[in-house]
Amino acid sequence: EVQLVESGGGLVQPGGSLRLSCAASGFTVSNSFMSWVRQAPGRGLEWVSIFYSDGNIYYADSVKGLFTISRDNSRNTLYLQMNSLRTEDTAVYYCARGKFGSPFDQWGQGTLVTVSS
């Protein structure tokens, strides 16, 4: 059974950093498209970043240069390093897994990041 479990969310001050983790089971992270998607309170979904199975990485303009996506194949885990956090980064962050043409087949339950002083 495919499972995605996010962790690492919490309260952080503006300008601070946080690293999110997405522990995967039931499949191999390195063979899948792995993404982060976020949802601010009461708002819609926003795609954040994707790590393609061929190693290519892309970011949304809103986080480029601030966030870094990575994966640890030995731990079968996806990460999102978030630096210089702003209040507008407050959101539930979801990890998602997919394949060509269908990049977000399965989703985790999300982890809440709150950026506030």
Binding positions for another protein, rule: CB under 8 A: 35, 37, 44-47, 50, 52, 56, 58-61, 94, 98, 101-110
Residue closer to another protein by CB (options 13, 40) is: 40
Residue closer to another protein by CB (options 16, 94) is: 94
Residue closer to another protein by CB (options 30, 60) is: 60
Q: Which two tokens stand for residue 117?
A: 């002083």
The least CB distance from residue 117 to another protein, in Å, is 27
99 to 29, 32, 79, 96, 104: CA distances (angstroms): 11, 6, 18, 10, 8
The least CB distance from residue 13 to another protein, in Å, is 27
The least CB distance from residue 44 to another protein, in Å, is 4
SS3 state of residue 31 = helix
The least CB distance from residue 100 to another protein, in Å, is 9
The DSSP bridge partners found for residue 116 are: none
How many Å apart are CA 92 and CA 64, to the nearest integer?
Answer: 18
How many Å apart are CA 35 and CA 18, to the nearest integer?
Answer: 17
